[in-house]
Structure 1
Amino acid sequence: MKPSVAVALAAVLLAAQHASLAEAAYPGPRVIIVGAGMSGISAGKRLWDAGIRNLLILEATDRVGGRMHKHNFGGINVEIGANWVEGVGGDKVNPIWPWVNSTLKLRNFRSDFDSVVGNVYKENGGLYDEDYVQQRMDLAYEVGEKGANLTEMMDPSGKDDISIMAMQRLFNHEPNGPTTPLDMVLDYFIYDYEFAEPPRVTSLQNTQPTATNTDFGEDNNFVADQRGFESIIHYVGSNYLRTDNNGNIADRRVLLNKVVRQITYNDRGVVVKTEDGSSYRADYVMVSTSLGVLQSDLIEFKPQLPFWKTVAIYRFDMGVYTKIFLKFPKRFWPVGEGKQFFVYASTRRGYYGMWQSFEREYPGANVLLVTVTDDESRRIERQSDNQTMAEAVAVLRNMFPDVDVPDATDIYVPRWWSNRFFKGAYSNWPVGVNRYEYDQLRAPVGRVYFTGEHTSEHYNGYVHGAYLAGIDSADIMINKVFKNQDFKVRGKYDAQVAEAK
């Protein structure tokens, strides 16, 4: 027998052994979960708690965590994906916050975004007057508040929705939105830095006000722990999956490096095929890949997903949010109270604008983080890291012309958009869609179910949204399995409830 044939046969036998062991240990409906990120692990726990315990999780990468991912850079673990617990300090408790702050006690720091107004640098160096920046910021927030008030007057169905930029035109009388370097970077800070896309495409009604801040509070806490933010996923999974001595998921029901390429489904069950030639049969499948993956051709559905489902998938946006890490031989930027964030006001909107110092989180690390999004992210992903390093250092030298700014010694550029297993950072709610399309996005197709932060009705794009979406999608499956209740899609422009067809 050829070695390649032997290896393939061993893989098939191993997969069959996993399946038979699981079936023997956990009788009942068999469910395959595609993806071991927050939503997939959360959905698995919910199914487990409901008595659906014959589970198999297939993960395309070599790790559990999805878009929550620590990376060792310059001797410290930094978060290249999700980093903040957004929504802290309100009357309701963000479900992620107790795990971070109490259960796991992950090191975290409140982000002082209010101090940004005192740290806005002109394109050719020097700070803008703080009082003047505050005036421009207050004006931008005043316009935003008017937009939030307008939202309350709109039909709940979303049929009156407009873009954030349309709102800015309405209340600030700027046909193209903010145009000066200062106003553009403040606009970027308020909107793009949050939603990963510019105001011209982002829905007003579904982002102003942001449900996360309204429900959970205005504070944002930055997680900076060597165990990684992803440790909360391992904690959720530890409730039904085996873990190692470090608390990391190490269960034979979680198969890594299993790239799902095809899902065949009918009224009797599903067959999931992976890139290595393995096949797995189940009664149901829960697809927890990113929206970007669903919009790509990575996974083939047989038969093709119905038109209403496909259109819903393509109507939403997958934003690109890139955190670029730079290490220097020495610190040359200001530090101390109110100096955590600093901003570069370029004539080119979104060009290396949002900077963050790690001096408080990692003293002496001499690491800076600069964030870019959208078109700048895609441009940077296509060029070399050396070119990106040169551009970023040139910006710093423009900001600090009277300071000796050395060359960076290292750089790390995550490439979420180029990675076929993600195709972006997180979803954004564009103008023109409403909760009808969201119902369609999370609605099952036969025995194929869907979850992910993009299916969260109120908190898409956030870690807590991913966690709650896993629960919601699992409940949809549980209702079908145990109560024979089909998921209902609400009518688009009225309160009637209509089944998706």
Structure 2
Amino acid sequence: MLWLKTFKATTITMLVITHLQTIQFHQSQVGVTHIRHSQVLILGGGAAGLAAAKTLAESNIHDFRILEGSNRIGGRIKSVAFGGKTVEAGANWVIGREGSPLWDVIQRYNISGKRSNLDNVLIRNFYGDNVTDTEGEFGWKKLEIAQMTVSEIIENIEDKKTEDMSLRTCLEIGKWLPKTPVENVVEIFDYDFEYGGSPEVTSCYSVGLNEDAGNDLYYVADKRGYEFILKTYVEDALTPHDDRLHLNEVVTSINYNETGVAVTTHSGKVFTAAVVIVTFSIGVLKSGCVTFNPPLPDWKVDSLFRVRLENYVSVYLKFPNTSSRFWDNTEYILYADERRGVFPVWQNLEVDGLFPPGTNILKMVTQGEDADRVTELTDAEITADVMAILRRVYTNVVDPEDVFITKWKTNPLYRGCFCNMETLAFKSEIFEAMRAPVENVFFAGEAFDDKFACYTTGAVRSGIYTAKKLLAYILP
């Protein structure tokens, strides 16, 4: 329609409000506040939403509003002060360099950190024995043989000679059947640690998509934090105290049809626009906590439900500066518990390129089913859990002076940490359906990128991609 393309604000507002009243997009209850109509609404102020806003601004579309449910922008990029340093509650790594806008910021501002060395690893068993060169070496070699078969299967999937399958199936075809705690932790380090879920729930093909890029991960350890990278990237699109940014506005419903959209928030405000970009996490989209009116079509719901939002818990432990570091001086320490997945990966944040010696911060990570178990515990119980492990593995262990624990799954604005692709999620027609708009409702987020899915870089790329699709939709 001509009015949709020209965006004559007064005419649009009258048309939209009249139609919304007709189909009861908003009710005349006490406490509802109507906000001035905008060309575009962006729901979510995380990486995807901010990248979309920047892309619109670069195309001279400035009449947009961002609705963010929390009191800050950044989403699951959140830098916090801890132990005299800045650590990350959410995203820690930047993946991809060539053509990555985030990597451009890292280079321009000399962001501290290091390329992760996944070979700088030591394995300790349940009793604290160093088994790196014995059971560990045997496990790595055995897994590497299976991975050759996995690569062949991925090529066949790419060539459409076979259908996608679970990573577990691919590994079993390669004769990889982990039977010992050490073999389990070797598998976890290569897969669960990166994808957040076990091979049973992970797409074999999705692993192949990130196989090369996954070897080039930059771990951010800068006093300005990961937040600085994202905010610097979008600083020319949003001014300080920008009145187009609405914080603490939790979306409860999205009403849409060919004449426009109306978004209602928990505070009772109604925001209207011609088009909307939804950047909620997959966990929120699947939870049903946001009502779409009319409901999203079956083809859209089916595609979204093929993506998981995994749980990932990091425990940062700050030990007194007066004590000596008692843990190993490798970049990663793998702990082979008798039960699969119990805090399997530890990061030595004093490794060269991160924090200086004497910082005395150790990071312990768990994911998947064990992360779900841990999330149900109190901070005191989690601390007691990890300290019992450390005291069994090492000697001269002292009590930490501070502990910081991440718990994204219990946060209703996210309901998890990062996405993971199930079998067939990257089948071309399914993936295209997943990121396709529904009328004037567009979607973006880390799950909607075809190259770096489930990473922050993917979220940024998705925001750019979706904004460009929206521009093609609204511009003459």
Say whether the fold is shared (TM-score over 0.5): yes
Provide the TM-score with structure 2 as the length reference: 0.88
> Could you say what secondary structure the match of 2:399 adopts?
coil
CA distance in 2, matches of 1:141, 1:459: 23
Identity %: 30
Matched, 1:394 2:399: no
Provide the TM-score with structure 1 as the length reference: 0.84
Shift, 1:76, TM fit: 2.1
**CA RMSD after TM alignment:** 2.0
Read off the aligned partner of 1:390 and give its amino acid letter: A
Matched, 1:377 2:371: yes
Q: Given that residues 260 and 272 in structure 1 are in contact (C-alpha distance below 8 angstroms), is that contact kept between their aligned partners in structure 2?
A: yes
Match in the other structure for 2:416: 424
Match in the other structure for 2:140: 137
Q: Given that residues 87 and 218 in structure 1 are in contact (C-alpha distance below 8 angstroms), is that contact kept between their aligned partners in structure 2?
A: no
Shift, 1:155, TM fit: 5.4
Q: Given that residues 96 and 457 in structure 2 are in contact (C-alpha distance below 8 angstroms), is that contact kept between their aligned partners in structure 1?
A: no
Residues 76-225 of structure 1: pairs in structure 2 closer than 5 A: 76-87=85-96, 92-100=98-106, 102-116=107-121, 119-130=122-133, 132-154=135-157, 156=159, 160-172=163-175, 174=176, 177-208=177-208, 210-211=209-210, 213-214=211-212, 216=213, 218-225=215-222
Read off the aligned partner of 2:236 and give its amino acid letter: N
Read off the aligned partner of 1:73 and give its amino acid letter: F
Match in the other structure for 1:436: 429
* Residues 1:72 and 1:148: Cα distance change in structure 2 (over 3 Å): same
CA distance in 2, matches of 1:277, 1:432: 40
Shift, 1:74, TM fit: 2.4
Shift, 1:331, TM fit: 3.7
Shift, 1:59, TM fit: 0.4
Residues 455-466 of structure 1: pairs in structure 2 closer than 5 A: 455-466=448-459
Matched, 1:468 2:474: no
CA distance in 1, matches of 2:256, 2:472: 20
Shift, 1:123, TM fit: 0.8
> Could you say what secondary structure the match of 1:32 adopts?
strand
Q: Given that residues 343 and 353 in structure 1 are in contact (C-alpha distance below 8 angstroms), is that contact kept between their aligned partners in structure 2?
A: yes
> Could you say what secondary structure the match of 1:144 adopts?
helix
Match in the other structure for 2:7: none
Gaps of 5+ in 2: 1-29
> Could you say what secondary structure the match of 2:263 adopts?
strand
Q: Given that residues 47 and 460 in structure 2 are in contact (C-alpha distance below 8 angstroms), is that contact kept between their aligned partners in structure 1?
A: yes
Shift, 1:222, TM fit: 1.0
Shift, 1:149, TM fit: 1.6
> Could you say what secondary structure the match of 1:48 adopts?
helix
Read off the aligned partner of 1:424 and give its amino acid letter: G
Shift, 1:131, TM fit: 5.4
> Is 74-83 or 447-456 further displaced after alignment?
74-83
Read off the aligned partner of 2:417 and give its amino acid letter: A
Match in the other structure for 1:294: 285
> Could you say what secondary structure the match of 1:477 adopts?
helix
- Pick from 65, 68, 93 the counterpart of residue 59 of structure 1: 68
Read off the aligned partner of 1:103 and give its amino acid letter: R
Match in the other structure for 1:26: none
Q: Given that residues 149 and 173 in structure 2 are in contact (C-alpha distance below 8 angstroms), is that contact kept between their aligned partners in structure 1?
A: no
Q: Given that residues 34 and 57 in structure 1 are in contact (C-alpha distance below 8 angstroms), is that contact kept between their aligned partners in structure 2?
A: yes
CA distance in 2, matches of 1:305, 1:54: 26
Matched, 1:38 2:47: yes
CA distance in 1, matches of 2:328, 2:191: 26
Q: Given that residues 158 and 205 in structure 1 are in contact (C-alpha distance below 8 angstroms), is that contact kept between their aligned partners in structure 2?
A: no
> Could you say what secondary structure the match of 2:226 adopts?
coil
> Is 387-396 or 358-367 further displaced after alignment?
358-367
Report runs of 4+ in structure 1 exceeding 6 Å deviation.
Answer: none
Match in the other structure for 1:413: 405
* Residues 1:55 and 1:159: Cα distance change in structure 2 (over 3 Å): farther
Shift, 1:156, TM fit: 4.5
Match in the other structure for 1:497: none
Shift, 1:328, TM fit: 2.0
CA distance in 2, matches of 1:457, 1:56: 27
> Could you say what secondary structure the match of 1:283 adopts?
strand
* Residues 1:31 and 1:158: Cα distance change in structure 2 (over 3 Å): farther
CA distance in 2, matches of 1:132, 1:423: 37
Shift, 1:387, TM fit: 0.8
Match in the other structure for 1:452: 445
Shift, 1:158, TM fit: 8.7
CA distance in 1, matches of 2:51, 2:215: 25
CA distance in 1, matches of 2:216, 2:451: 18
Q: Given that residues 188 and 350 in structure 1 are in contact (C-alpha distance below 8 angstroms), is that contact kept between their aligned partners in structure 2?
A: yes
Q: Deviations over 1:308-359 (max 9, x none)?
A: 11121112111112111122223442455xx121111112111011001222
Shift, 1:254, TM fit: 0.9
CA distance in 1, matches of 2:417, 2:392: 29
Q: Given that residues 332 and 404 in structure 1 are in contact (C-alpha distance below 8 angstroms), is that contact kept between their aligned partners in structure 2?
A: no
Q: Deviations over 1:281-333 (max 9, x none)?
A: 11011001111110112211111111111121112111112111122223442
Gaps of 5+ in 1: 1-7, 24-29, 244-249, 484-501
Q: Deviations over 1:131-169 (max 9, x none)?
A: 552342132122112211221123545961111111121
CA distance in 1, matches of 2:364, 2:47: 25
Q: Deviations over 1:47-83 (max 9, x none)?
A: 2222322110010001110011012222322101110
- Pick from 47, 69, 72 the counterpart of residue 56 of structure 2: 47
CA distance in 2, matches of 1:310, 1:412: 36
